[in-house]
Amino acid sequence: MKKEDVSRFIRRKEVLGVFLILFLVFGFYSVKLMSASPYVVNTQRLGTFREEGQLKHAAYLKPNELYGYMVFRDEYPISLVDRFLLMYTYRSDPPLSSGTYEVTGKVIYYVNKGSDEVIMWEETLFDEKGKLQNGGFTVEYTLDMGKLDEMNANVAEELGIRRLNRRVIITTTVEGTGEVGGKTINENFDQEVELVRDGGAGLYYFTDTTKTAKRTLTKTTREEVSANVLGVESDLDTAKVVTTLLALLMLVPLLGYVYTARPPKDELAKIRPYIVKGAPGPVQKRVVLKTPKDLETTFELVDKPILHYIDGEDEVFAIIDDGISYEYRKPLPQEGDEAN
């Protein structure tokens, strides 16, 4: 098939219509796929891990007729407390397979300096360490308030500070390893409980005796997305490239048709109203004008009508002045082209 035949075939309206439809189809897929993510993120819930630390306390009292020998309360009268029984328990669910713990009790002596606290002395009351058993542990300790008061008096005397305050802090630290839903976890748990001596109210009480931590473990996976274009399935990146290239390819004939279908520029537009059909008679001399601009300039100088006629295979535009023919010649348009 000749090149001219191919060109005429492509420029047929029904063929251009097919190219237009294909361009819209592939363009639609290209835009749609460009905004799509190449991966789907899936989150799977593996399970929940929970751990809890709790300090239980009771007070042994001095002889009294109100509470008896031992009492479990949230607040205790300072004047009646002889000693505290402390029991700290830690547990995990599911149980940590291995791990260690440390429970430390300290008494901190301090004075108030304006709004600040200045620590003057620290002393360790107890320090319990060990390994977790079935994901947990329990420790007990008896805190003798009489001995604590004696220590307080000794430190105050040594420092020479009469208004010396004290704070009892119980700190727990747990480090362990376990498994939840097939995933290994490394846990760090800490808790701080304080025994507060409220002299104004005349009471002892403990703060933050229970701490619970809970978290959900998940597993995230990425799955590559596939695309189906007109029944053909491929990965998303390939589909993006192919649909974009096909859309551009379908656009080429359409742009070519739009470009070639435009009417050619009329080189004689300015002098077209002064062109008349007709051939000149015998002339003494012929002057060849090379360009339409030369013809336009000659017309402005001579100011006479422009004759238009066919001479063989040439289209001739001539201006006759005093027996001289000023002629601009151009080949006749080929079949399928338009003439000016």
Mean pLDDT by 10 residues, the chain (340 residues): 51 68 73 73 87 96 91 94 96 94 94 87 94 95 93 90 89 94 91 92 94 90 72 72 77 66 73 85 86 87 87 87 87 58
Instruction: Please choose, from the candidates 168, 152, 59, 52, the residue with its C-alpha nearest in 3D space to the C-alpha of residue 105.
Output: 168
Helices (H) and strands (E) in the chain, counts: 5, 18
pTM of the model: 0.58
Residue 238 pLDDT: 74
Residue 338 pLDDT: 45
Instruction: Please choose, from the candidates 142, 27, 138, 150, the residue with its C-alpha nearest in 3D space to the C-alpha of residue 91.
Output: 138
Rounded CA gap, 99 and 174, in Å?
7
Residue 104 pLDDT: 96
Residue 339 pLDDT: 40
Residue 191 pLDDT: 96
Kindly write down the DSSP assignment for every residue of 110-166, as one continuous string: EEEETTEEEEEEEEEEEEEEEE-BTTBEEEEEEEEHHHHHHHHHHHHHHHT-SS-EE
Q: What type of residue sits at position 221?
A: T
Residue 16 pLDDT: 67
Residue 313 pLDDT: 85
Residue 11 pLDDT: 57
Residue 295 pLDDT: 83
Note the residue count of the chain: 340
Name the token pair of 259: 């470009």
